[in-house]
Each structure stands twice: as C-alpha cells, then as structure tokens.
Amino acid sequence: MIEAELSRCVAAFMPGATGVSGAAKLSGGASQETWRFDIVHPEGDIGAILRRSPRGYGAAPGRAAGLDNEAVLMRLAYAAGVPSPEVLCVLRPADDLGTGFIMRRVEGETIARKILRDVDYAEARPRLARQLGGIAARIHGIARDALPDLREMNATTEIAEIAREYRSFDWPRPVFDLALRWLSQNDPGPSAEVTLVHGDFRNGNLIIGPDGVRAVLDWELAHLGDPMEDLGWICVNSWRFGEIDKPVGGFGSREELFGGYEAAGRKVDAVRVKFWEVMGTLRWGVMCCGMMQRFRIGPDHSMERAMIGRRASETEIDLLRLLAPRGEG
C-alpha cells in the first residue's frame, strides 16, 4: 500500500522516477515513523527515507518544531555545511502520506553501542567529539532571520515547563524534586546570545561512518535558545551507553568537544554547559516518564515506549552523581 503512495509522490517531484521498491518501516523513533525505500530511476536507484507523523500522534506535544519546520531547518543546515540529509520533498495533502518529508538516505550507523565498540569505527571514535563541536558551532551560526517560526526557550522557562510536566504525572520522585531545586538555585539567567538549538544533539541521532560524522538527524525539538544547551545535552550520561568516563557520547571528552566548538569561532561557557547537563538529565528523566504515561493510556501500547519509560530510574542515579558526587561532605 505505502509503495503505491510513495510511487505517486516521487513521480510528482522527481523527473524520470518510475516508482519505488523495498519500502520497509525501520525500528526506533518513538515519536515519528521512519520508512526506508529506494526510488527507481533509469539513471540509477536513489536511496531515500520517509519521515512522517504516526497516525493520530504528534511528536513531543508542546515542544515539537513540526515536520514542515524540520524540513526547512534541515535544508538550512545542509546549505550551511552541517552534515544533514538532503531533503528531497515535503509531503502535500495530495500525496496521501500524512505529514512529513522525504530525504536522501545517508548510509552509516546510528546504533550507539556499535559505534562505541565495533572495530569499523575505531579510527573515527577519537575524532568524533571534536567533529561534533565544529558541527554544533555551524548549527548555532545559522542566521536567525532565515529560520522558520520556532518556540524560544531560556533556562527559567525550561525549569518551569519541566516542573509542570513532571507534576502532571502525579508520580513523585524525590531526586527529581532535588534536581528542580538545584536548577532554580543555579539558574544562570538569559543567555547573552540566542541561536538555533538542535534540541536533541546526541549519540543516537547521528549517522556515523568509518570517516566520522555523516549526518545529524531528528530536528523535531529544535528551538531558539542558549547554544550551550546542545553542548550540555550531548554530555548527558544516558547517551554514553556505559562508557561513563567519556562524557561526550561515550567516545570523547568535554575538552575535545569544546575545542572543536571554539576552533570554529564560537565561545564555550563551561558553567552554563554544566547547568544544561543537569537540566538535560532531568529533562530526559521526565520524558521517560512521559513515554510510560503514553504507553499506559494508549491507544498505541508500544513496547518501545515502555522500554524508554523504565529508564527514568537511571536518570535519578545520574542526577545524584552530578549533584552529590562521592567524596563531598
């Protein structure tokens, strides 16, 4: 069924395309659907990806940029030299495929455990943190006047939003309460610079090859805000997958990340990065709780949502390590 719809769609935007083949829904993506397929073309098949909203669901309600905006942002990033898949088509109502877009497929690995352990990526791993610092700098350098309409967040409003969401679950967690108090007491105030923030810049949303970073994915949480937020988020322990001594995605150091960022002409504020690492850890914990709530209320009782939901307890340990490290009285 979806191949017929995709065939009609690609014929409308790609001259010479005769159809599609091999359409398959990919695992992963608790908020959005992702389909892999090939565009059949007389000059050679073209690997493609469909990204769309599941029927009846939106991504991260209240926070999502929207798939149309995602497509705009990816096109801007691609033009700015950020490794980002090329957007080929934004879906129209006539395509009967829902809301979303089609992009050129980038080959590589997204599974963090493979990236962190497989021999194929051994030479790339030592370079990744510095590469990501440079990539983040290019994202944050995209001109604001070119951006679509995005929500703007700062530290104070983010604390309030997370607190509201957490309390709406009626699921008390004392460590989350501790983190909220710490964040309020250490709120750094408005950032001197407001830029595009990717919002989910981390291991798992990157395509990696033996040569390093090939693409940044999943722009659904993009917004305007403090650029240090992205640097703090990629240091959250949940994205290290057991390699806790390497805070940047399990493959590098903060110094390497910061070095790549500053080599690209931007300045790092390490204190703000630490604040956003704590904020990011709590935010991921609250998002995990939200996934469990969605699993409970349905109608889509996705096992993936339940598996993500149980990870809320891991973030409690991470928060205690950040806020009350061993050895402090």
Residue 32 sits in the same domain as residue 139: no
Instruction: Kindly state the average pLDDT of the residues 146-163.
Output: 96
The residue among 181, 7, 147, 22 whose CA lies nearest residue 76 is: 147
Q: Are 262 and 217 in contact (CB under 8 A)?
A: no
Q: Are 289 and 309 in contact (CB under 8 A)?
A: yes
**CA angle (163 as vertex; 160, 167 as ends), nearest 5:** 145
In a domain, 138, yes or no: yes
pLDDT at 294: 72
In order, the DSSP letters of 132-156 are HHHHHHHHHTS-GGGS----B--HH
Residue 159 sits in the same domain as residue 179: yes
Considering only the C-alpha atoms of the chain, give the largest distance between any 2 of them, rounded to a whole number of Å. 70
CA separation, residue 195 to residues 67, 253, 281 (Å): 20, 24, 22
Q: Which residues lie across from 46 on neighbouring strands?
A: 39
**CA angle (230 as vertex; 228, 233 as ends), nearest 5:** 110
How many domains are there within the chain? 2
Which of the listed residues 104, 131, 154 is the one where a domain comes to its end?
Answer: 104
Residue 58 has pLDDT above 50, yes or no: no
CA separation, residue 91 to residues 42, 102, 298 (Å): 23, 7, 27
The model's pTM is 0.90
Residue 256 has pLDDT above 90, yes or no: yes
Residue 167 sits in the same domain as residue 53: no
The residue among 76, 203, 190 whose CA lies nearest residue 140 is: 76
pLDDT band at residue 295 under the 50/70/90 scheme: low
Instruction: Kindly state the average pLDDT of the residues 60-65.
Output: 67
Q: What percent of the chain has pLDDT over 90?
A: 81
The CATH number of residue 163's host domain is 3.90.1200.10
Chain CA centroid to CA 197, Å: 10
In a domain, 51, yes or no: yes
In a domain, 139, yes or no: yes
Residue 162 sits in the same domain as residue 40: no
Beta-carbon count within 10 A of 245 CB: 8
Residue 116 sits in the same domain as residue 92: no
Residue 117 sits in the same domain as residue 54: no
pLDDT at 198: 98
In a domain, 329, yes or no: no
Residue 64 sits in the same domain as residue 119: no
The CATH number of residue 23's host domain is 3.30.200.20
Which of the listed residues 51, 77, 104 is the one where a domain comes to its end?
Answer: 104
Residue 130 sits in the same domain as residue 228: yes
In a domain, 68, yes or no: yes
Q: What percent of the chain has pLDDT over 70?
A: 92
Residue 54 sits in the same domain as residue 141: no
Query: Element (H or E) spanning 23, and its range?
Result: strand 19-25
Residue 97 sits in the same domain as residue 139: no
Q: Which domain holds residue 51?
A: 2-104
Query: Element (H or E) spanning 71, and its range?
Result: helix 67-79
pLDDT band at residue 300 under the 50/70/90 scheme: low
Residue 78 sits in the same domain as residue 157: no
Residue 133 sits in the same domain as residue 270: yes
Q: Which of 27-36, 174-183, 243-252 has the lowest mean pLDDT?
A: 27-36
Which of the listed residues 69, 104, 139 is the one where a domain comes to its end?
Answer: 104
